Structure 1
Amino acid sequence: MDPKSLRGLGHLFVTVFLTGFATLIVSPVITDVTMAALCPGSDECSLAIYLSGFQQAVTGVGTTLMLPIIGNLSDQYGRKALLTLPMVLSIIPSAILACNRTTGYFYAYYALKILTAMICQGSINCIALAYLADNVSYNRRASAFGVLAGVTSGSYLCGTLAARFLSVGLAFQVATFVSLFAVVYMRIFLEESIPADQAEGIIEPILREEEEDVTRKDGNAPAKMSSFKKIPSLGGVICLLKNSPSLAQAAVVAFFNYLGEGGMESSSQYYIKARFHFNKNQFADLMLISGILATISQLFLMPLLASRIGDGRLLSVGLFVACIYAFLYSIAWSAWIPYAATALTTLMVFAPPSLQSIASKQVGPRDQGKAQGCIAGITSLANIISPLIFSPLTALFLSEEAPFHFPGFSIICIAITLMIAFVQSLTMGRAPSNTNGKNNRNSTEV
């Protein structure tokens, strides 16, 4: 890559870091805020678990529909243009809790968080991956995606470290300020990126008026008609998957992987809070350890291994270790087990960037946004289903009405889900490119 590309990627990494920091600085405190607003003074709250699961499911419906559209539009109108919308919308929820965290403000946050997350959740990462694919050669793509994941993990690390020492109110205020700064920085410094043969699309409006060569029966001048640029349909996404068996396999792996990850996200904190009475600081400690290990692994270890064993094997390693991680959580008998399990993060974090690299190699340069949007949409579909399965299981087995005593039953079910993804990944092997860098517009147009 030439120096100009490197500078452009540097600004991309800064943008991703700032947005990730703003999101993750509030992650360790949101469980405490939710329970304080809904069930003050209690360590168990079924309402909080169900609302969290409902939020995750509804958000998943929205992102399943929106991410393929956003990815496709970024192919047509540029990555920078499509980054602006989710970055601006993501400011609103944290700004609400920065003002107050009483029950009324929490429900306002809850409603707006669902609406904005339908567009914001996953879209920044999806567009960033397409931006990297525009500027990184085919054989270095797995390493570049690993570096981007490392930058995200670095923002995770810094965000949780800040949350460890900031008060709850100040954490939301800092998140709001950093989100605003990220938008300004991105608009000023990040250069637009889009495949060269599509560059003309950037200056075309999504809704335009054009003169159609339609002659009226009375012989008058052609009628002026409004027409929309083509927006991808579900059928187009299915066509994209049918034309690339490897991409379809990657979609299956992504579905089961994120079905399990979504279950851990919606259930694990409530599980260990009920089992070991963890609070904000202990959640932050776990996230801090995980962030340090993930950052080091993705920035330094993954680029080294990707060139030697390939992204297919890295994917399988990451998924297998994730199974072990979930299993350890499910049988945790002491408060130190969650801390010990975080050591597995070193290898778990190989899975997402490896999967994204495999998907990227299945399409040409003009379809990177479509491919990443497709995979992101599949993961969002998993996020719809996941809380519907695992949140009720978690609430049931943490209650006094559990059919048998096994508080971690929902977590061991998550481990089984991750094992399915691991087995499927073994059939993929080293994913070949269907395009070899050439764009097949007819077969992948969405």
Structure 2
Amino acid sequence: MNNRNTGRQHRSSNRKRVKSSMYSPVPGIGKPSVYHAVIIIFLEFFAWGLLTTPMMDVLKETFNENTLLVNGIIQGIKGLLSFLCAPLLGALSDVWGRKSFLVLTVFFTCSPIPIALMSPWWFFAMISISGAFSVTWSIVFAYVADVTEEEHRSSAYGLVSATFAASLVTSPAIGTYLSHVYGRNAVIVLATAIAALDVCFILVAVPESLPENFRPSSWGAPISWDQADPFASLRKVGGDPILLLLCTTVFLSYLPEAGQFSCIFFYLRHVIGFGDEKVASFIAVVGVLSIVAQTAFLTMLFQSVGNRNTILLGLSFQTLQLLCFAFSSSEWTMWGAGLLAAMSSINYPALSTLVSSITDKHQQGVVQGIITGIRGLCQGFGPAMYGVVFYIFDIRIEGDMPGNLMAHTTVDVKSANSSTEVDNQTFLPGPPFLFGAMSVVVAMLIALMIPNTEAPSSTITYLSLPMPKSLRRWVKQHAACRGIHSESDKEYTINNGKLSDDQLSIPQTRAELEEALLSMNSSDEEV
């Protein structure tokens, strides 16, 4: 009896020791949670959402008829810098923790906002340069991966993505109203204050999410610079066929999305003839629908049809909405395209969830950095592609009122005394959107090759936990008895449905595995 009580006390003390070592005493409010990430994303994009109308006005005043082309170049430079720097920042966050890099990325991403009060040229230059640190998404998604179980990660990613949509529900309308009533500078000051509040929130309220035993004891610890090379990280993608398919799908689907997002406000305002208030209303409606799509709708799809089919459905919605923007300029079609765009917003959280599920826990920052880097590459090429296509088709902004964006592609029918111009704008008012739809169709064909999976709860990734080497060997040996093998730890999973009762017992749940871990000798070397 005494030995049994001693064993229970030993397991209890081990449990306290393991739990207390999971997170470092970095200042923050409460334990690390998805809600910390949600607030960070909301405040950052709410600040930028306020500037929707002022930025359109400043761009038009500064660059006149070449607004679409220059806007594409600005966003393109920003995206390319994001691509080059995202893997480095993601890898550093895997070593030194998430919190300091959340501060860094949010601060520099929002740093151009107050500069708009000084000079529009410096404002747009700083937007381009800030791309080197505009990787908040990769750090936030790594933060979420740190604090969620794999079976709950899809809904957590959906919540974070829905927060981005929620930040745009009211901010453009508020910015438009304040700009008309109090002037452009008042909106810039308010956006600057909200960005500063976001930085202060991270410093004061956000706790560190990366377990302490994953981080070195000092900031001088070495890091593998192979992880910081964006092209090396892309080469690593080729080593995993599923990851390669997913990354290719991300590139081909996000390329037109990035281009569309960079110019859609101008397109609605100057091609379709929406006023500022109607543009803000359009953004708000699409934002609300996106929240519904990325929370309840996404969770339902994951549970019913699996990862791959969810991705395919999102890509189908995206193709249809791009075709609507390409071939129609009627107002009711734009609202229908907005509904489809909201439904297609499930793409990124669905893809990120699948990527996360095949990645080891302490590599989440690197892999999310790769995905964000690919998105950064799209944010470079997408806006540039849209801007160049608008320029090639001679679609430029002329005048200050909505409806003055004209497609000047004409066919001259000459006679002795006259010439007739046939305007082709009505046939293809949005040529870049057609190219985008073709890209998404190719992405759908590639996504068809991704193996379909059930809901994430059907598979347990045991080696995503920090555990003693002896337990890691024990789990792998017992898995080998069942004929389960893997070339790398990050791919090692055990499907509950294939375990037979006549073979050796192995933990079936995370709780059982943690109990086994706590019962091991606490002197074992930690991985």
- Asked whether the two chains share a fold, i.e. TM above 0.5, the reply is yes
Bigger helix share: 1
C-alpha RMSD over aligned residues: 2.6
Q: 1:66 aligns with which of 79, 85, 104?
A: 85
* CA 1:317–1:60: 2 relative to 1, 3 Å: same
Query: Aligned pair 1:309/2:305, yes or no?
Result: yes
Q: 1:416 aligns with which of 435, 438, 446?
A: 438
SS at match of 1:349: helix
Retained in 1: the 8 A contact 2:99–2:206?
A: yes
Where in structure 2 are there 5+ consecutive unaligned residues?
A: 1-18, 23-28, 396-406, 412-423, 465-487, 492-527
- Name 1:84's counterpart in structure 2: 103
Query: Aligned pair 1:137/2:133, yes or no?
Result: no
- Name 1:126's counterpart in structure 2: 138
Using the TM superposition, give the Cα deviation of residue 363 of structure 1 relative to its aligned residue in structure 2, in angstroms: 1.1
Where in structure 1 are there 5+ consecutive unaligned residues?
A: 40-44, 209-227
**Residue identity in the other structure for 2:126:** L
Tell me how far apart the structure 1 counterparts of residues 259 and 410 of structure 2 sit (CA, whole Å): 19
Using the TM superposition, give the Cα deviation of residue 129 of structure 1 relative to its aligned residue in structure 2, in angstroms: 0.7
Q: 1:426 aligns with which of 429, 448, 453?
A: 448
Q: 1:229 aligns with which of 223, 237, 241?
A: 223
Using the TM superposition, give the Cα deviation of residue 382 of structure 1 relative to its aligned residue in structure 2, in angstroms: 2.1
Tell me how far apart the structure 2 counterparts of residues 279 and 33 of structure 1 sit (CA, whole Å): 16
CA offset digits 1:387-416 (Å, max 9, x no partner):
343212113332424685432222211111
SS at match of 1:278: coil
Structural mapping, 1:254-403, within 5 Å: 254-397=250-393, 398=395, 399-401=407-409
Using the TM superposition, give the Cα deviation of residue 95 of structure 1 relative to its aligned residue in structure 2, in angstroms: 0.6
Tell me how far apart the structure 1 counterparts of residues 462 and 325 of structure 2 sit (CA, whole Å): 42
- Name 1:36's counterpart in structure 2: 61
**Residue identity in the other structure for 1:133:** A
Q: 1:184 aligns with which of 189, 196, 200?
A: 200
CA offset digits 1:103-156 (Å, max 9, x no partner):
xx1101011111112212xx1111111111111111111111111112222112
* CA 1:284–1:261: 2 relative to 1, 3 Å: same
* CA 1:236–1:38: 2 relative to 1, 3 Å: closer
* CA 1:349–1:129: 2 relative to 1, 3 Å: same
CA offset digits 1:28-66 (Å, max 9, x no partner):
432222102332xxxxx2x21121111122112211110
* Percent identity of paired positions between Structure 1 and Structure 2: 20
Using the TM superposition, give the Cα deviation of residue 235 of structure 1 relative to its aligned residue in structure 2, in angstroms: 5.6
* CA 1:178–1:142: 2 relative to 1, 3 Å: same
Q: 1:146 aligns with which of 141, 158, 164?
A: 158
- Name 1:198's counterpart in structure 2: 214
Tell me how far apart the structure 2 counterparts of residues 179 and 108 of structure 1 sit (CA, whole Å): 19
Retained in 2: the 8 A contact 1:360–1:368?
A: yes
Using the TM superposition, give the Cα deviation of residue 79 of structure 1 relative to its aligned residue in structure 2, in angstroms: 0.7
Task: Tell me how many residue pairs correspond in the alignment.
Answer: 407
- Name 2:125's counterpart in structure 1: 111
SS at match of 1:333: coil
Query: Aligned pair 1:8/2:24, yes or no?
Result: no
Using the TM superposition, give the Cα deviation of residue 436 of structure 1 relative to its aligned residue in structure 2, in angstroms: 2.6
SS at match of 1:407: coil
* CA 1:442–1:136: 2 relative to 1, 3 Å: closer
**Residue identity in the other structure for 1:142:** S
TM-score by length of 1: 0.84
Judge which range, 108-117 or 379-388, deviates more. Answer: 379-388
Tell me how far apart the structure 2 counterparts of residues 420 and 35 of structure 1 sit (CA, whole Å): 34
Tell me how far apart the structure 2 counterparts of residues 435 and 388 of structure 1 sit (CA, whole Å): 42
**Residue identity in the other structure for 2:104:** L
CA offset digits 1:151-171 (Å, max 9, x no partner):
222112132342242213322
SS at match of 1:166: helix
SS at match of 1:128: helix
Tell me how far apart the structure 2 counterparts of residues 230 and 276 of structure 1 sit (CA, whole Å): 51
**Relative CO higher for 1 or 2, CA cutoff 8 Å, sep ≥ 6?**
1
**Residue identity in the other structure for 1:188:** V
Tell me how far apart the structure 2 counterparts of residues 235 and 91 of structure 1 sit (CA, whole Å): 27
CA offset digits 1:295-333 (Å, max 9, x no partner):
122232222322222222111111110100010111223
TM-score by length of 2: 0.72
